[in-house]
Structure 1
C-alpha cells in the first residue's frame, strides 16, 4: 500500500498510523536535514505527542540545503510527508507510519525559500541534523573555523547564503527587522555541547559580515544543548524489503532499534512542545548525559568498527558475537572510558555500558560496520581522541584507546587483513590513505594530522606508544595485538 493520506485507513491492521487529524496540524518547527535519524527520533517523538491529542501547532516543516535534501523532500512529499518506521526488537518487529511533517521547503541556491519559511512568525523552533562534520569546527582549537570556503562564501554573500547557518542568520535578521521574536535553534546532531557549537557557528558566521547582528543573536537567540540517541541503520534493499513485508510501499522507510533517548536543556523562550509527556528528559545536566553517550556508545562503535572492518566482518552484531572483539570493547570501556566519565544523574555507568553492549548485539538491526567506519576524520576527534586527552591529562594509561586509533590508521591503508580492497569510506579518504601508507614507515605521520589530533604529536610518550602499537599491528596482525592487550 503506497503511503498517502488517502490510504492511511487502508493500511494493514498490524501497522500503526496517526490517530490525529493530519489536516489540523500546523507547522511550528522547521527542520533542516530530514534523514533517517531525524525521522526515527525527533519525528517519532512529535508523532507520539500528536497521538495524545496535544501540540498540533508544533508540526514539522522539512527543509535542507543540499541536492540530496531536495531528493529526500521529493520522496517524502510524494507520500504526503509520511514515512514508515520499523522497530527491530530481537524478539519481534513492529511498524508504524509517522505523520508529523506537513510539508517540505523547496531547496534552492541562495536558500530564499528556506529563509522565507523560517521568517514566518508561526515558526518558533528551527532544528538541525546536518551530521557531525557539518559544523565547521577547527579540530585544533575545537572552535568554529571562519576560514572554511563555504563560510567565506556565505560571509561574502549573506543575503543569498548556501549553508544552513547562513540561512538561519538571514531569517533571524528578517524577523528582527519585522519585529518578530527570534526562533530557538535546536541542534539534534551527535556533537558534544551541540547547542554551544551551533551558536558558535551562527554567531561566528554573522560576525564576518554583520558584527552588530552577531551581537544581537548572541544576546537574544536560544541554542539549547541536547543529547540524542537511537541506532538507525542506513536504508538499503533489506530495509525496503522489511517495509514490503508489512504491506507498505515506502520509498524511504526507516529501521531502528527499540531504544531511544532525548535529553535537553529547557531553554525555549519562544515556547516548545510538551515533549516531557512522551519521554523526553529536560535537565540542566545535559553535558553529563552527552559525555556518557558519546564516549561509551559512539566511542564503542569506533572501537569495534575498525577491528571488525579489518576482519571483513559486515555487521555490528557479528562483531559483538566475536569473543575477542567483545572482550576488547568491554575492557576499554571498563578500564579506560568509564573511569573518566563524570557521574550522570540517576544512572549507573556499568548498567549503561551493559545496555550498550546489548544494543550493539541486536541481530535485527544489521548495523553495517562500514557505516560505523565512515568519516573517522570527523568522528575520531569527538569519540576517541577526547578520551585519550582526558586520560593523558590525568596521567593515566590509554593502551586500548591508542590501539583503537592504530587500527583506524591500518584500516585507512585501504585493504583488510585478507587483502580485500576497502572502498573509499571517508570524505577525506585519499588523504587518509596516503597518510596511512606514510605511517607504515613513520607512524608519527598519522598523529601529525593536527585537524584530528591537535598537538598530541608533540607528546613524545604517546608518539612512542602509537609507533610501537601500529608497527605491531602491521607486523603481526590486529588479532594478535588485541590478544596481547587482553592479557
Structure 2
C-alpha cells in the first residue's frame, strides 16, 4: 500500500522515510530560485532542509520561479503535494529516503510582473539559479552573447522580460527604485566562475537598454562563485516505481541521486545568508581551485568514459565502469594527463578525490546513463576537456590520451555505434556535428576546425597529428582495439 506525498500525510509517511522535523508553517521565503529541477532539489534544497532541521534560518526558505514550458509541469506536480519532494540518496549498499520541505511555493511560470514584484520584496535576499550550462547565453570561451534573439528581445522590452537574466535585472531595478539594497545572485550551475558568468549575463542584458544601470549592477550586486556537485539522473517511471515499492510513497516527481554531495561557495553575501556551513557547505575566499578540480577530474572523467561506452552500446554508467578497457582508459588518462594538470586544492588530496570519483561512477544504484554523459559535447568539451589539453600543450606535456578522447567524441558524432545502431540526436548542435564528423573520416582537420570548440588547440600540429592517428585507428580497428593500443602504448 502506498501513501500520496502531502503535508497531511507526513505523520503516516514518517514510519518509512525521514520527514521534516520543523514546522513548515513557520518558514518564510528568503531565496527565490529559478530552475526547480532535479539537481536543485537534490542539492541546495537538501542543504537547506538539513539546516532547518537544526532550528536555524527559517526565513531563508525557497520560493520557486521559472520561465520555461517545462517549469509549469514541475509547478503543477509539486503544487499537488504541497511543494514537498522525496529525495532518495543511494550508495551501492543502501538507499535512504527523506522528504524535504524547504520549498514553500512557486510563482506562476513566465508571469514577469509577479516575478519582478517578488524580486523586489525585501525579504528576498538571495536569488539563486540552476538553468544548466547551456542556459547562460555564452559561447565556448564563456563570453556572454547579447545578440542572442531572446536576450535582444529583453533589451527592447526591459519592463516585460522573458529570460531569467532580464527578470533579475528588472527586479534589481525595481529594488533600486524603491530604495532597497540589492539581493545576492547565486548561480548553482556547473560552469567555471559561475558567479562571474551570471554577472555578465545580468549586466549584459541590462546594458542593452540602460548602460548606466548595467554599471550599477556590476558595482553593487554580489555574484559569488560556487562549485556544486551531486550526480542526479533524470526522473522517470522507474524511479517513481522504486519509491513506491521500497518506501511506499507516491511522489509525482521524486529525485534519486548518489549519496555524495559537495558545495563550495565564495563567502560574498552582503544581504545576508543562511548558516550553511553548519551542514557541510565550505565557504572559501576563492572557489577556483575546487572548480578546476571538479571540472577536470569529474566532468572530464565523465567525458572520457562516455564516448567509448556509447560506441560500444553500453547503457548505464556503472556498466561502463565494469568494462575493463573503459575503466582502464579512465584510470590511465586521469593519472597520466588530467590529474597532473590540476593545481593544488586547499585541504584536498587529489588522489583521494579521484578514488571517490571512481566509486561514484561505479555506483549501480544511480542508474545514470551513458547517453546523458554524451549529451551536449559541443558545450561541455570546451569546458571540461579542451582547457586541460591547452595547458598540457603549453607546458610541452603529452596529450595522447586526450587526443583519443576527442577522436572518440568525433566518432560518436558520426551518428552510429559500432554495432550499426543509430545514435539519436544528442547535442543542440547535432545537425552541425554529424556532417563535420562524417567529413573528418577523410579529413580529420574538418573536426578540429571547429574554432568555437577547440580554438588554438585545434591548430596545434602536435594535437592534430595525434587526433588524426586515433581517428584513423578507430575507423580501421574499432573502439576496443584502439583502447588496447592506447593502454599498452602500441600506437
TM-score range, shorter chain: over 0.9
SS at match of 1:144: coil
Q: What is the aligned partner in structure 2 of residue 229 from structure 1?
A: 229
Q: What is the aligned partner in structure 2 of residue 209 from structure 1?
A: 209
Deviation at 1:86, TM superposition (A): 0.5
How far apart are the structure 1 equivalents of 2:203 and 2:394? 31
How far apart are the structure 2 equivalents of 1:214 and 1:368? 41
How far apart are the structure 2 equivalents of 1:448 and 1:210? 38
Asked whether the equivalents of residues 132 and 189 of structure 2 are also in contact (C-alpha less than 8 Å), the reply is yes
SS at match of 2:4: coil
Deviations 1:421-459 (A, max 9, x none): 111111111111121111111111111122211233322
| Structure 2: tracts of 5 or more residues without a match | none
Asked whether the equivalents of residues 227 and 291 of structure 2 are also in contact (C-alpha less than 8 Å), the reply is yes
How far apart are the structure 2 equivalents of 1:2 and 1:351? 41
Deviation at 1:461, TM superposition (A): 2.6
How far apart are the structure 2 equivalents of 1:108 and 1:144? 23
Runs of 4+ with deviation above 4 angstroms: none
Question: Which stretch shifts more, 219-228 or 428-437?
Answer: 428-437
Q: What is the aligned partner in structure 1 of residue 142 from structure 2?
A: 142
TM-score of the pair, normalised by structure 2: 0.97
How far apart are the structure 2 equivalents of 1:329 and 1:294? 15
Corresponding position: 1:242 with 2:248: no
Deviation at 1:12, TM superposition (A): 4.9
Asked whether the equivalents of residues 415 and 434 of structure 2 are also in contact (C-alpha less than 8 Å), the reply is yes
| Structure 1: tracts of 5 or more residues without a match | none
Q: What is the aligned partner in structure 2 of residue 480 from structure 1?
A: 481
Q: What is the aligned partner in structure 2 of residue 289 from structure 1?
A: 290
SS at match of 1:28: strand
Q: What is the aligned partner in structure 1 of residue 54 from structure 2?
A: 52
Corresponding position: 1:7 with 2:9: yes
How far apart are the structure 2 equivalents of 1:370 and 1:178? 48
Q: What is the aligned partner in structure 2 of residue 180 from structure 1?
A: 180
RMSD over aligned Cα atoms:
1.1
Q: What is the aligned partner in structure 2 of residue 200 from structure 1?
A: 200
Asked whether the equivalents of residues 386 and 457 of structure 2 are also in contact (C-alpha less than 8 Å), the reply is no
How far apart are the structure 2 equivalents of 1:467 and 1:115? 52
How far apart are the structure 2 equivalents of 1:268 and 1:237? 39
How far apart are the structure 2 equivalents of 1:463 and 1:404? 13
Deviations 1:360-396 (A, max 9, x none): 0111111111111111111111111111111111121
Once the two structures are superposed, the pairs formed by residues 260-279 of structure 1 within 5 Å of their partners are 260-279=261-280
Once the two structures are superposed, the pairs formed by residues 453-464 of structure 1 within 5 Å of their partners are 453-464=454-465
Q: What is the aligned partner in structure 2 of residue 167 from structure 1?
A: 167
How many residue pairs end up in the alignment? Answer: 485
Q: What is the aligned partner in structure 2 of residue 75 from structure 1?
A: 77
SS at match of 2:186: strand
Deviation at 1:142, TM superposition (A): 3.0
How far apart are the structure 2 equivalents of 1:136 and 1:475? 39
Deviation at 1:51, TM superposition (A): 0.7
How far apart are the structure 1 equivalents of 2:456 and 2:204? 24
Asked whether the equivalents of residues 142 and 197 of structure 2 are also in contact (C-alpha less than 8 Å), the reply is no
SS at match of 2:72: helix
How far apart are the structure 2 equivalents of 1:125 and 1:170? 15
Once the two structures are superposed, the pairs formed by residues 345-424 of structure 1 within 5 Å of their partners are 345-424=346-425
How far apart are the structure 2 equivalents of 1:242 and 1:96? 14
Deviations 1:280-323 (A, max 9, x none): 00011311111101100011011100110100001111111111
Once the two structures are superposed, the pairs formed by residues 324-335 of structure 1 within 5 Å of their partners are 324-335=325-336
Asked whether the equivalents of residues 62 and 102 of structure 2 are also in contact (C-alpha less than 8 Å), the reply is yes
Asked whether the equivalents of residues 124 and 270 of structure 1 are also in contact (C-alpha less than 8 Å), the reply is yes
Q: What is the aligned partner in structure 2 of residue 107 from structure 1?
A: 109
Deviation at 1:147, TM superposition (A): 1.9
SS at match of 1:457: helix
Determine which of 25, 28, 34 is the counterpart of 1:26.
Answer: 28
Question: Which stretch shifts more, 232-241 or 213-222?
Answer: 232-241
Question: Which stretch shifts more, 114-123 or 171-180?
Answer: 114-123
How far apart are the structure 1 equivalents of 2:371 and 2:270? 41
Deviations 1:188-220 (A, max 9, x none): 000001111111111122122111001100010
SS at match of 1:143: coil
Asked whether the equivalents of residues 107 and 113 of structure 1 are also in contact (C-alpha less than 8 Å), the reply is no
Q: What is the aligned partner in structure 1 of residue 315 from structure 2?
A: 314
How far apart are the structure 2 equivalents of 1:62 and 1:305? 33
How far apart are the structure 2 equivalents of 1:323 and 1:424? 28
How far apart are the structure 2 equivalents of 1:114 and 1:428? 32
SS at match of 1:231: coil
SS at match of 1:137: coil
